């Protein structure tokens, strides 16, 4: 008993009977939280212990309200000290030891916990949200539809993450759901979507990009498809663009009909960037289903849906979409849709010609390269004053031989009387004479 009493004395209140029986935090975790909150004593004596009791046990909730009132006070000294505690810096910027002590204590809580207690960590984030809501609201991810403690989490972890660490710390989508239950909120994917895909005026800002990497986010969204797609209506165009791309990259479009229909809905969105993102996302879905749905769109009475069907077919089938679009073009009345079909037709057929030239095999595929080699020889021949053409009898001067470089440069024969390509005189002689049959026979051999 004496030894246990000494342990409790040195470890403080973190191992008292006030700790809930179901807490999964270890003694070291509770000590770390108490050490981090002890800095609040610099603003008001005893405040750190009161806040530690609140975080670890849920008791003394009035201490959080007291901190909120202190943040609103006009006394600059108290506000400055609270500000320094929340951002884990020393009151005296020259006190490097104190600064390192506060930073290490914060880092220990966010990135080195051995256990996980959703209720305690929810209360920890709730405490920090009182400061961020008043001082850094403009840096919050998400909108007012999400709880402040969740919006605070990304910023808090980012400003405390040591180099090379995961900037989201102990946060995962399943753990956030557990903390929602602790906060007496129904587990919902809407706040996750809001924090991940809505970053105010910069829908794809740096905070949003971190939340997109939240472990388990794709599975959480897939588990609640109706709520997920319904939440998209609250996002700006940038958020819709990011989310439809997220669905495609994580293979969610084929996992549920709600996501499949949502992607087609976004393909006819009013924002061009959203339409393009949806067309690209649908390329990774089941081709037969996408083609069938896109052809249904071609028969729609709404011009924007017909335009979406045209763009989806073009992105999915490429040149194979031309016969379908040609048939539809004869019935289309909208100038916008007709212009899109004309652009796709011109681009697609030009691409066919380019690929056809590149795709020819055998001697036909090598002719363009050989023609370039012959042009080099012809240019050198002009320097020698001889006739340039298929005869190829021009003999450039020795000083001009440097004009032809590369593997097809010219070289004199053993007698030094004439120049032949380095690739082989018999092959080029046949080409100069226009004898393609001889060239094919010799080159194949």
318-376 pLDDT, tens digit each: 778 888 888 887 777 888 888 888 888 777 655 555 555 444 444 344 445 545 555 65
Say whether pLDDT at 299 is over 50: yes
Per residue in 374-416, pLDDT (tens digit) is 565 555 555 554 443 444 444 444 444 444 444 444 444 444 4
In 3-state terms, what secondary structure has residue 389? coil
Last residue of a domain, one of 106, 135, 164: 135
CA distance 100 to 349: 65
Task: Give φ, ψ of 318 to 5 degrees.
Answer: 55, -125
Say whether pLDDT at 284 is over 50: yes
The band of 296, judged by pLDDT with boundaries at 50, 70 and 90, is: confident
Least confident of 123-137, 191-205, 238-252: 191-205
Residue at 385 is within a domain: yes
- Supply 366's token pair: 């090598």
The total of structural domains in the chain comes to: 2
Rounded average pLDDT over 228-248: 87
Say whether pLDDT at 10 is over 60: no
pLDDT of 205 reads: 52
Of 312 and 10, the structure prediction assigns the larger pLDDT to 312
Residue at 248 is within a domain: no
The CB density around residue 389, as the number of other CB atoms within 10 Å, is 12
Say whether pLDDT at 156 is over 70: yes
Rounded average pLDDT over 189-214: 69
CA distance 318 to 347: 10
**Domain of 69?**
1-135
Whether the CB-CB separation of 221 and 197 falls below 8 Å is answered with: no
Whether the CB-CB separation of 392 and 381 falls below 8 Å is answered with: yes
pLDDT of 179 reads: 94
- Supply 238's token pair: 């940038």
Say whether pLDDT at 272 is over 80: yes
- Mean residue pLDDT of the chain comes to 75
Residue at 407 is within a domain: yes
pLDDT of 148 reads: 85
Say whether pLDDT at 436 is over 60: no
Residue at 303 is within a domain: no
Say whether pLDDT at 27 is over 90: yes
CA distance 48 to 46: 6
pLDDT of 347 reads: 74
Whether the CB-CB separation of 127 and 176 falls below 8 Å is answered with: no
Whether the CB-CB separation of 155 and 131 falls below 8 Å is answered with: no
pLDDT of 351 reads: 53
Last residue of a domain, one of 104, 135, 166: 135
- Torsion, Cα 175 31 129 91, to 10 degrees, reads -150
Last residue of a domain, one of 112, 135, 158: 135
**Best CA proximity match to 82, nearest among 123, 34, 134, 152:** 134
pLDDT of 287 reads: 87
Residue at 306 is within a domain: no
CA distance 256 to 44: 54
Whether the CB-CB separation of 328 and 305 falls below 8 Å is answered with: no
Say whether pLDDT at 204 is over 50: no
CA distance 319 to 297: 19
411 pairs with which residues across the strands?
Answer: 420
pLDDT of 3 reads: 38
Say whether pLDDT at 201 is over 60: no
Least confident of 13-22, 101-110, 223-232: 13-22
pLDDT of 94 reads: 76
Say whether pLDDT at 194 is over 60: yes
Residue at 55 is within a domain: yes
Least confident of 169-178, 236-245, 288-297, 317-326: 317-326
Residue at 183 is within a domain: no
- Supply 411's token pair: 């070289």
When computed from its CA atoms, the radius of gyration of the chain, rounded to whole angstroms, is 35
**Best CA proximity match to 71, nearest among 43, 46, 97, 106:** 43
DSSP code, position 161: P
What is the model's pTM?
0.67
Q: What share of the chain is helix, strand, coil (3-state, %, to 5)?
A: 65, 0, 30
Residue at 282 is within a domain: no
With a CB cutoff of 8 Å and minimum separation 6, the contacts of 192 are: 173, 176, 211, 214, 217, 220, 221
């Amino acid at each position: 008993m004496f030894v246990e009493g000494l342990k409790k004395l040195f470890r403080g209140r973190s191992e008292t009977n006030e700790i809930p029986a179901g807490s999964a935090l270890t003694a070291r975790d509770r000590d770390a939280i108490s050490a981090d909150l002890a800095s609040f004593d610099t603003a008001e004596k005893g405040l750190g212990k009161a806040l530690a009791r609140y975080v670890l046990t849920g008791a003394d909730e009035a201490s959080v309200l007291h901190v909120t009132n202190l943040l609103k006070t006009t006394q600059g000294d108290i506000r400055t000290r609270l500000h320094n505690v929340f951002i884990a810096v020393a009151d005296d910027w020259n006190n490097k030891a104190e600064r390192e002590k506060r930073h290490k204590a914060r880092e220990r809580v966010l990135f080195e916990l051995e256990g996980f207690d959703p209720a305690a960590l929810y209360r920890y984030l709730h405490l920090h949200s009182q400061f961020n809501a008043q001082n850094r609201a403009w840096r919050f991810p998400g909108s007012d539809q999400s709880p402040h403690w969740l919006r605070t989490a990304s910023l808090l972890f980012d400003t405390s993450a040591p180099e090379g660490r995961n900037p989201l710390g102990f946060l995962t989508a399943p753990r956030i759901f557990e903390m929602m239950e602790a906060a007496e909120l129904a587990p919902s994917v809407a706040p996750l979507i809001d924090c991940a895909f809505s970053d105010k005026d910069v829908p794809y800002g740096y905070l949003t990009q971190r939340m997109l990497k939240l472990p388990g986010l794709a599975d959480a969204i897939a588990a609640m498809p109706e709520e997920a797609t319904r939440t998209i209506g609250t996002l700006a165009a940038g958020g819709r663009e990011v989310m439809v791309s997220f669905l495609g990259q994580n293979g969610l479009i084929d996992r549920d009909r709600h996501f499949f229909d949502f992607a087609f809905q976004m393909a006819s969105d009013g924002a061009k960037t959203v339409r393009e993102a949806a067309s690209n996302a649908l390329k990774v879905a089941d081709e037969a289903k996408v083609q069938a749905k896109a052809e249904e769109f071609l028969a729609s009475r709404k011009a924007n849906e017909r335009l979406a069907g045209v763009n989806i077919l073009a992105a999915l089938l490429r040149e194979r979409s031309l016969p379908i679009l040609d048939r539809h073009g004869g019935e289309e009345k909208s100038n916008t849709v007709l212009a899109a079909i004309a652009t796709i037709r011109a681009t697609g057929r030009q691409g066919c010609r380019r690929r056809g030239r590149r795709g020819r095999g055998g001697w036909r595929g090598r002719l363009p390269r050989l023609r370039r080699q012959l042009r080099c020889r012809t240019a050198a021949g002009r320097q020698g004053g001889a006739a340039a053409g298929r005869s190829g009898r021009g003999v450039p001067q020795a000083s001009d031989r440097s004009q032809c470089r590369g593997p097809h440069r010219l070289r004199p024969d053993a007698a030094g009387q004439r120049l032949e390509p380095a690739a082989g005189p018999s092959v080029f002689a046949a080409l100069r004479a226009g004898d393609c049959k001889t060239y094919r026979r010799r080159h194949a051999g």
